[in-house]
Chain A
Amino acid sequence: MSASNPNESPVNRREFLVRLGITGALIAGSGLAARKLWQPKHFVPGFEKEKGLQLKSYAPELSKVMPSLAIAHGTEHEKTIRAAMTALGGMERFIKNGDVVMIKPNVAFDRPPALAATTHPDALRAVAKLCFEAGASKVIVADNPINSPTGCFFKSGLTAVAAEMNLDLMYPETNSFAPLSLDGEVLKEWTFFNTPFKKANKVIGLAPCKDHNLCHASMTTKNWYGLLGGRRNQFHQHIHSIVSDFALMMKPTLVILDGMNVLMSNGPTGGRLSDVKPMNTIVAGTDMISVDAYGYSHLLERDIAELTYLHKAQERGLGNINWKDTLHKEVTV
């Protein structure tokens, strides 16, 4: 039985409205707080119905007269990269006035440049210079090292080049990522370092040529691995599949393989100068599979038959492993 007292007044309209208002505010506040706390990294593959972003193609129009692959031999980064680009038809073929260019180096480790585990600062300097000469209004440099990005960029010497050349160095932040959707062999839904792509309209991959403990070689195709977020090491079990998926994920304007000094063993980290061999070569092209095919056979000096991810990409029509069949040009500085 209720212990109600008829002499006490019931809830009046004013009090009712106040209570209703407080309740509504609490519910709305909870909703807003939940939205605020929601983070994209909760985007777990296989548990998300929402489709993520799909990257557009940054590739130039195919040319029947201009080479799609250039190989330049020389002893200095800038001269050799310039020679490779001239052989491709000049950087102006790819970069126009006012373009915002994103350069994706490989800065996976906090290693000094001499160990050839990361994109060499001289290579970045040369490519950025060519972009500006071609009319680029801005050059963004971005990578997502698993290890401390500031440490990796600093020790690899790229921070200094960015400051010297007034490049826009973009470190990955918590809110730099967005879900990516891809119909890849293993890459379906994953977090992706998206912020640079919101600003850039041209993309250049600039990768060192190096041995890799798991997939034999890390070159221009593997370089895009650095754009994935999350615990991406779980893809190591399907390393050749995921690397071949990058040829589907990314259609860059251009890729450049730095084979001036090649990490021949103990990759991808290296650690000893004896692991590094001067090969004095730059390979540039629009087909990353062709570029890597040359790199593997001529710079790492290995049998292309064993590089599974290139064959997978070729089978899926994502590139041409037979670089000799492409329109190519080889020059010596």
Chain B
Amino acid sequence: MATEKKYGGGGRKQFVRTRVPVVESISSAVILLLIVAISFAIWHKGKVFDPNLYAVRTDALKSTATAVEGKNGTAPSPTVTAPVVADPPKAVAEKSTGGEEPTPEGGAEGAAAPKPPVKNLPLEISLAGTKPMGDTEFYTADNLYEKIDGRAPAYQSFNVVGLRCRSFAVTAATGSFVDVYEYRFDTPVNAFGMFALERDPKGKPLEIVADGYAADMGYFYRQGAVYVQIIASDTKPETLAKAKSIADIRAKDLPVDDKGLAGRKKLPADGMIADSVAYVPENAQGQSSLKDVFQAKYKFTGAVIPFFVMVASADETAKAWQAFQNFCGKFGTAENLPDVNGAKIFRAQVFGKWKVVYQRAGELGGAFDADDADQARAFIEKYLRGELK
């Protein structure tokens, strides 16, 4: 009776749990651990939450921009415009590519180079009289704005892959320092495009690289697919001397790679209108055979002459020249002119504008959209005779 009273009345014995089975204990422990793990995971995920994670990434749409013959729905491929340069391009000395930077491999001249891996190697510069001010900073195209904020889109438009930068104090000049920025792009052509966009029109040619200049407070150049900026904090001679030394060191370490830039080197500097250089990857002049074309405008005997040049195999340039002449003959008038320095030339009037187009081994180019046929011809003949530097 006493027991029944203790556990409840009604003649029913109340369930009393006095032992927890081992299996149940283990299960409970596992569940508790899972709850803790899930809680931590939620907390951690929230901590690193990125509102842009599911944002529309327009970059992903770029793959649709490749022109496909006969498909109307395909977006036109972009024209990479690279306003540039009035200085003569210099011959590039072959250099060992044994530096720390990998050279993109594969692909013919002008073909898109494979995207090089972004190496997070510290930027080490061994130079007496300088001392690193902090660690090397690394940025990708996606977080480049963290370093250069509103300037980042300009670099992204040229397919920047990453930025590596570091500052170095100049021990001989209190408070002075040199900033080193190395922007890596997907191709040398795009590195050149960004370099050219920011070019200092008063910059003095830099002998250590193919595309570079010295400004009042720094050195700027393209080497391979890297656009290098060496910026001094001031104009003290000690600071500028260290900046120059660093520029030299980095130019030696970065491998030479001018893939896709052969045409650029053919553009003469004489009379070139600054900021007029453009790179057209394909369908230049509306011709499918004209690819990787560089063009610029020139002041010539009181007129402005647009000029283009393409570097390819002899066979390709010959076919492209013939196709271009056929096109001009179909939609206008075209006539052959006497050869100059071994180059074949035709002149054409299409849609009211004049073209004078030449072709010689591995090179095709010409004046286009000219108002005056004689001036266009004179320009081309002068160029072919090597009188435009």
Residues of A within 8 A of B46 (CB): 39, 42
Nearest CB of B to A162, in Å = 15
Q: Which residues of A contact B61 (CB under 8 A)?
A: none
Q: How far is the CA of A5 from the CA of B16 in the complex (A)?
A: 8
Is there contact, CB below 8 Å, between B233 and A155?
Answer: yes
Task: Kindly report which residue of chain B lies nearest to residue A112, judged by CB atoms.
Answer: B233
**Chain B 160-186: CB-based contact to A (< 8 A → 1; otherwise 0):** 000000010000000101010000000
Say whether B16 contacts A273, CB under 8 Å.
no
B201 at the interface (CB under 8 A from A): yes
A173 at the interface (CB under 8 A from B): no
Could you say which residues of chain A place their CB within 8 Å of the CB of B17?
A: 2, 4, 10
Q: Is the CB of B202 within 8 A of A274?
A: yes
- Choose one: A109, A236, A267; the contact of B153 (CB below 8 Å): A236
A10-B16, A37-B43 are contacts. A215–B215 as well, Cβ < 8 Å?
A: no
Question: In whole angstroms, what is the CA distance A269 to B220 when docked?
Answer: 15
> In whole Å, how far is A230's beta carbon from the nearest beta carbon of chain B?
8
Chain A contacts with B in 179-221, Cβ cutoff 8 A: 212-215, 218
Please, which residue of chain B has its CB at the minimum distance from the CB of A233?
A: B145
Which one, A234, A266, A273, contacts B52 given CB within 8 A?
Answer: A234
Q: Contact at B18–A4, with CB atoms within 8 Å?
A: yes
In this assembly, does A88 line the interface, its C-beta being within 8 Å of a C-beta of chain B? Answer: no
Contact A4 B179 (CB under 8 A): no
Q: Cβ of B220 and Cβ of A2 under 8 Å apart? A: no
Chain B interfacial residues counted at CB < 8 A: 46
Residue with the highest number of chain B CB atoms closer than 10 Å, among A5, A45, A114: A114
Instruction: Note all chain A residues with C-beta closer than 8 A to B51.
Output: 44-45, 230-231, 234
Complex alpha-carbon distance, A44 and B50, angstroms: 10
- In the complex, the answer to whether B235 meets A146 with C-beta atoms within 8 Å is no
Cα of A108 to Cα of B231 in the assembled complex, Å: 17
Residue in contact with B216 in the complex, picked from A5, A236, A273, CB distance below 8 Å = A273
Q: How long is the Cα–Cα vector from A146 to B149 in the complex, in angstroms? A: 7
Please report which residues of chain A, range 25-59, place their CB below 8 angstroms from some CB of chain B when the two chains form the complex.
37, 39, 42, 44-45
Residue of A whose beta carbon sits closest to that of B197:
A266
Instruction: Return A110 CB to nearest CB of chain B, in Å.
Output: 7
The answer on a CB contact under 8 Å between A5 and B19 is: yes
Chain B 88-125 near chain A by CB (<8 Å), digits 1 or 0: 00000000000000000000000000000000000000
B198 / chain A contacts, CB cutoff of 8 Å: 266, 271-272
A146 touching B15 by the CB < 8 A rule?
no
Q: A residues within 8 A CB of B49?
A: 42, 44
Which of B154, B203, B234 is in CB contact (< 8 Å) with A274? Answer: B203
**A140 interface contact, C-beta 8 A:** no
> For residue A275, which residues in chain B have a CB less than 8 angstroms away from its CB?
200
Instruction: Give Cα A116 to B31, complex, Å.
Output: 60
A9 contacts B by Cβ under 8 Å? yes
Q: How distant is A144 from chain B, measured CB to nearest CB, in Å?
A: 11
Q: How far is the CB of A301 from chain B (nearest CB, A)?
A: 17
Nearest-Cβ distance from residue B310 to partner chain A, whole angstroms? 30
Query: Judging by beta carbons under 8 Å apart, are B150 and A236 in contact?
Result: yes
Using Cβ atoms and an 8 Å threshold, which residues of chain A touch B3? Answer: 6
Known: A213-B151, A231-B51. A146 touches B145 (CB 8 A): yes
CA distance A114 to B154 in the complex (A): 23
Cα distance, A45 to B55, chains bound together (Å): 14
Contact with A along B12-28 (1 / 0, CB 8 A): 00011111010000000
Closest 5 CB pairs of A and B: A8-B18, A273-B216, A112-B233, A233-B145, A274-B200
Q: A3-B19, A4-B19, A218-B150 are in contact. List 18 more A-B contacts (CB 8 A).
A: A2-B17, A4-B18, A5-B18, A8-B19, A108-B149, A110-B167, A146-B147, A212-B150, A231-B52, A233-B149, A233-B152, A234-B52, A236-B145, A268-B151, A269-B149, A273-B217, A274-B215, A274-B216
